[in-house]
Structure 1
Amino acid sequence: MNVKKFTAPTSREALRKVREALGPDAVILSNRPVDGVVEILALDNDDVASLASPSEESEMAAPRPSMQMPAPEGPALREPAARYADELPAEPMMRPAARQPFSSLGALDDAPAYAPQAPVQPQPQPQTYANRRAPQPEAPAFDMAAMTAMMSAAIAQAKESAASAAAGEMQGMMSELRAMRGMMESQLAELSWGTTQQREPQKAVVLREMLAAGFSASLSRYLVDKLPAGKDATEAMRWIKTVLARNITAMTDEDAILDRGGVFALVGPTGVGKTTTTAKLAARCVMRHGPEKLALITTDAYRIGGHEQLRIYGKILGVMVHSVKDEADLRIALKELRNKHTVLIDTIGMSQRDQMVTEQVAMLTDSGANVQRLLCLNATATNETLNEVVRAYQGSGLAGCIMTKLDEAASIGNVLDVLVRQKLNLYYIANGQRVPEDLHLGDRAMLVDRAFRNKRDAAAQIADADLPLMMAGLGNLNNDRSLREVYVG
């Protein structure tokens, strides 16, 4: 591009020089007075092509950075834009040169020597092909797998939260329903028993007698509900005694233990009389088969001199007493005594709530021999205590039980209740300290009769007005598993 400057005293003469030098198609770039003359900058028509858009490969193809916002579209949007432009401060700008034929410049002959160009507002840059091809920042790649995993985790968490909330609500609802059912059962039981007490007063008499004898309220209510209709109080009591005796399992012939022989372990809480009962059984075995057929083992290595009492009994009977400490010693002892007809094991006494009870049961079960466990039940204990003892020493199954301290018990209905509901086989009854006299076989009818004969004082009996409230607290007896196998005939 070659821009040429022409000066003359007047603009007419300056234009003439331009026409002569560049031809009629010259492009006037500027026209201004300088130092008393007129100066014109002009460009040849052939050099105008250099003012066109640069090629795409050129660095000039990229648009220059601009802070100017594009003009809004539409008339409604152009008006605020124009108004905003009008409010901007005016800044003098030269109007860009327009390409026009030189023939149209003839009118400039009459133009004044200096004609300043009016400032114009900047126009938005037109969208060109180069603008569209300008490099743009790359958008981050979309990770579909990560998005799917994120959505799956969110859905799983939402489901888990909803399930937890639903489970909590359901649990609360079930608790409320159980409470409502319990209240309704209690109220219905109270109303039902009140009606039964008025309609069949003999049932109230029987129920009061059973509670006074020491039987549990649930077993008493269960048998009273099964009581046949049309019986008076005397006949009803006779029926109750018959049913109780029928549901007690007792050994009627001690040959089952003396003649058959085997390994027997007496277990139970502290102070229930295991050592004395072991000595009584040992004396009976010696009297039947002789001392050489019997062996005694004690596991009481914790108490100071705990095994001395059994050693004294063994010395009197002429029987060797073996002391063991753990399962390994017990295995060795039982292996050495496998030729004995009868082996009696006296175990250490411990509370039914002691965790060592489980270890003791496991030691006897895993000793390598068929150890039959006989549970000693204290006749003076309460019904609840006896049930705890049975559950603690039950293990894989008890061979039977021995009722001890019968001579010290004011009532034995509590022990008979446990025998009926737990289905225990009664081997012996111990009613004193004499060895071996105070050990007897259990007579079911005698035990039931004694339970009602030695019932508590009348002052301790429950009044008729208290029976409905007591029966209401039992709930639904059909849910008590221990009563399902009680045979009423």
Structure 2
Amino acid sequence: MKIKRYFSKNMREAIRKVREEQGPDAVILSNRKVDGGVEIVAAIDFDEVVLDAGAPVIPAPPRHATTGVRAAAAPAPAAMKPTAANAAPAPAAAAAPGAIPFPEPAILDMRRELKNLRGLMEQQISGLMWGDMARRKPLEANLLRLLLQLELSPGLCQQIVGELSDASANDAQKAWRNALGVLAHKLPVTDDEILARGGVVALVGPTGVGKTTTVAKLAARFAVRHGARKVALVTTDNYRIGAHEQLRAYARLLDVPLRTAADPNELREVLKELADRALVLIDTAGMSQRDVRLSEQFALIRGCHADIKSYLVLSATTREAGVDDIIRRYRNIQPRGCILTKMDEAGSLGGTLSQIIKHKLPVAYVSDGQKVPEDLYTASAPRLISRSVAMMRRAEQVPDDPSLAMILGGTAANA
């Protein structure tokens, strides 16, 4: 097998060089961008059997064997005799039947190169697919470009375009409005349940997303509508020293009671004490979604056996993968919906909205500032979409065709 590296200004020229020198049977092992162009590693006379050359061949066990050690070699004839005195000692290799020989560095390098091969093929295929779509269906291609500029997930973008009717096939502006309408229809929102009906409400979520400030905003709004005597605050945060002080300051400002609960029994007693309050807001401890103590917070809320409605507080500044992880980690507590905070600090809403749609988690309220209670609004799907479009226009980042092909490549490969 002959392996050679090729350097060219672009991928097409590099592949042409490979074909000229090594012929059509050459295999591209890897590609990467370098200063001045791209680098391709290609091989001829390639044989995947080489990958297993570093591992010894282990014979299969006899068909009639009943022993659980399947990887051991077949016993020598002497070992078949019933007398223990004449039995041959087991070979050294059989002492560790589960051991896997460590491949040589060359084999590891080859495996890494092969992993890159799939990425190259997906990239090339997606590029061809995008180019073909741009030629045959320019309106759909332009819609995909615009939706991807919103930083929505590629799968959601393709789903939206696929659901559009043919009525707007020749009108780009109408098609764009219809696409945003489909997006708004997919985005779940709830009504003004907390402020309209009250109840026992717990705000949960990772640290730093603004739970305590959101509790204060909701309490202030409810007090304005129904009176301060109808509101009470509870905190279960026993980890942060300043958590109680911040909430206590809000409680004094609003003239509402504040109670502390460290375990399910305490929370049950506190809720009994506050049973005459129309709205009881519980500020839970903020911690990473991967913190082992998170289960303690879940147990505290579920263990008091009260009718507690949980809402997950999400920061609009969190990246899409982080939002996905947070929603998955807090799924056990079965949140009624979510509250989006820090809208004023976000550069894009597409990733967050994509995950909210994916997990079917309704948005209840949005917050875009620190003012209590002004910077809190009931969620509206059209307004959230309009906000996302406004952010896109401010960013002025238009992906080129190669970037679009790469973004859509993973979705096409997994389709």
TM range (shorter): 0.5 to 0.7
* Whole-angstrom CA distance in 2 between matches of 1:243 and 1:442: 17
Describe the SS at the equivalent of 1:272. Answer: coil
**Are 2:152 and 2:350, in contact at CA under 8 Å, matched by a contact in 1?**
yes
1:314 is displaced (CA, Å) by 0.7
**Are 1:204 and 1:464, in contact at CA under 8 Å, matched by a contact in 2?**
no
Letter paired with 1:318: D
Letter paired with 1:300: D
**Are 1:210 and 1:452, in contact at CA under 8 Å, matched by a contact in 2?**
no
Structure 2: tracts of 5 or more residues without a match:
1-62, 73-96, 101-115
Q: 1:394 to 1:321 in 2, by over 3 A?
A: same
What's 1:375 paired with?
A: 312
* Whole-angstrom CA distance in 2 between matches of 1:298 and 1:389: 21
Q: Does 1:266 align with 2:203?
A: yes
Instruction: Deviation per CA, 1:275-297: give whole Å up to 9, x if none.
Output: 11100111122122222222210
**Are 2:160 and 2:183, in contact at CA under 8 Å, matched by a contact in 1?**
no
How well do the aligned residues superpose, as a CA RMSD in angstroms?
A: 3.0
Q: 1:318 to 1:196 in 2, by over 3 A?
A: same
Letter paired with 1:360: Q
Identity over aligned residues, as a percent? 41
1:253-332 equivalence runs, <5 A = 254=192, 256-332=193-269
Describe the SS at the equivalent of 1:278. Answer: helix
1:418 is displaced (CA, Å) by 2.1
What's 1:237 paired with?
A: 176
What's 2:374 paired with?
A: 437
1:19-168 equivalence runs, <5 A = 155-157=65-67
Describe the SS at the equivalent of 1:307. Answer: helix
What's 1:208 paired with?
A: 145
* Whole-angstrom CA distance in 2 between matches of 1:444 and 1:226: 18
Comparing 429-438 with 463-472, which one deviates more in the overlay? 463-472
Letter paired with 1:155: A
Describe the SS at the equivalent of 2:357. Answer: helix
* Whole-angstrom CA distance in 1 between matches of 2:380 and 2:263: 37
* Whole-angstrom CA distance in 1 between matches of 2:273 and 2:394: 54
Q: TM-score, normalised by structure 1?
A: 0.58
Q: Does 1:466 align with 2:403?
A: yes
* Whole-angstrom CA distance in 1 between matches of 2:135 and 2:370: 49
Instruction: Deviation per CA, 1:122-157: give whole Å up to 9, x if none.
Output: xxxxxxxxxxxxxxxxxxxxxxxxxxxxxxx97322
* Whole-angstrom CA distance in 1 between matches of 2:178 and 2:410: 25
1:304 is displaced (CA, Å) by 1.6
Describe the SS at the equivalent of 2:242. Answer: coil
1:318 is displaced (CA, Å) by 1.3
**Are 2:123 and 2:405, in contact at CA under 8 Å, matched by a contact in 1?**
no
* Whole-angstrom CA distance in 1 between matches of 2:126 and 2:185: 28
What's 2:154 paired with?
A: 217
Letter paired with 2:155: S
Letter paired with 1:346: D
Question: Which structure's CA Rg is the greater one?
Answer: 1
Structure 1: tracts of 5 or more residues without a match:
1-152, 169-178, 479-489
Q: Does 1:416 align with 2:364?
A: no
What's 1:246 paired with?
A: 185
**Are 1:264 and 1:371, in contact at CA under 8 Å, matched by a contact in 2?**
yes
Describe the SS at the equivalent of 1:473. Answer: helix
**Are 2:122 and 2:413, in contact at CA under 8 Å, matched by a contact in 1?**
yes
Aligned length: 312
What's 2:275 paired with?
A: 338
Q: 1:410 to 1:159 in 2, by over 3 A?
A: closer
